[in-house]
């Protein structure tokens, strides 16, 4: 039996991988099932160039990626409504957009995960790619999304 800490780490790894998969989906438009297969076989919990990736919660990863893909237009409309005047989803950095999409989907669809957990987890993902200013931006948008969907 795995500990709660192991599950937390596995979900954190799944969220980071989901953002990467969503980025690849956005940039290359592969068939979803092929993209998921690639991540299952080569990325999740794999060792790449001597770096061992944390074992990811594969079911959770699939849930996030498929959920965002299925509800992308709805998510983008929600995100667009939370952006500052003069900003649009199209203007966002592509990586930031995937972080916000994944976080928004989780806030909308995974009521079993607390708002604080969702926001903190995607802030950690944002910090992996961006500096504090962008992470603060992600925090503000996700907080606004949480207020409207929870």
Interval 45-92: pLDDT, tens? 665 555 555 678 999 999 999 999 999 999 999 999 999 998 999 999
Beta bridge partners of 51: 48
- Mean model confidence pLDDT for the chain: 92
Alpha-carbon distance of 65 to 44, in angstroms, equals 13
Write phi, then psi, for 48 (nearest 5 degrees).
-125, 125
Residue 52, classed as helix, strand or coil, is strand
* 121: nearest Cα among 13, 23, 20, 7: 13
- The per-residue pLDDT for range 2-48, each reduced to its tens digit, is 578 888 889 999 999 999 999 999 999 999 999 999 999 887 866 55
Cα separation of 15 and 27, whole Å? 18
User: Which tokens belong to 83?
Assistant: 């952006």
Q: So what's the pLDDT on residue 50?
A: 59
- Close Cβ partners of 79 (under 8 Å, ≥ 6 residues apart): 89, 97, 100, 101, 104, 141, 145
Q: Is the pTM of this model over 0.85?
A: yes
Superfamily, domain 4-149: NusB-like (1.10.940.10)
Residue 145 near residue 78, CB atoms below 8 Å: yes
So where are the chain's domains? Answer: 4-149
Mean pLDDT of 117-133: 96
Taking alpha carbons only, the member of 112, 11, 110, 1 closest to residue 56 is 11
Q: Residue 108: pLDDT above 60?
A: yes
The percent of residues above 70 in pLDDT, for the chain, comes to 92
Say what the pLDDT of residue 53 is. 56
User: So what's the pLDDT on residue 39?
Assistant: 93
Counting residues of the chain whose pLDDT is more than 90, the rounded percentage is 81
């Amino acid at each position: 039996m795995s500990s709660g800490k192991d599950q937390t780490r596995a979900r954190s790894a799944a969220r980071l991988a989901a953002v990467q998969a969503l980025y690849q989906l956005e940039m290359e438009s592969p068939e979803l099932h092929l993209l998921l297969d690639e991540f299952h076989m080569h990325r999740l919990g794999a060792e790449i160039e001597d770096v061992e990736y944390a074992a990811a919660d594969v079911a959770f990863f699939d849930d996030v990626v498929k959920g965002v893909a299925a509800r992308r237009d709805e998510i983008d409309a929600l995100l667009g409504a939370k952006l500052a005047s003069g900003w649009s989803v199209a203007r966002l950095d592509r990586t930031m957009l995937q972080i916000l999409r994944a976080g928004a989907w989780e806030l909308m669809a995974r009521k079993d995960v607390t708002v604080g957990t969702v926001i903190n987890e995607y802030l950690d993902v944002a910090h992996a790619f961006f500096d504090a200013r962008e992470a603060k931006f992600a925090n503000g948008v996700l907080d606004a999304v949480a207020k409207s969907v929870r």
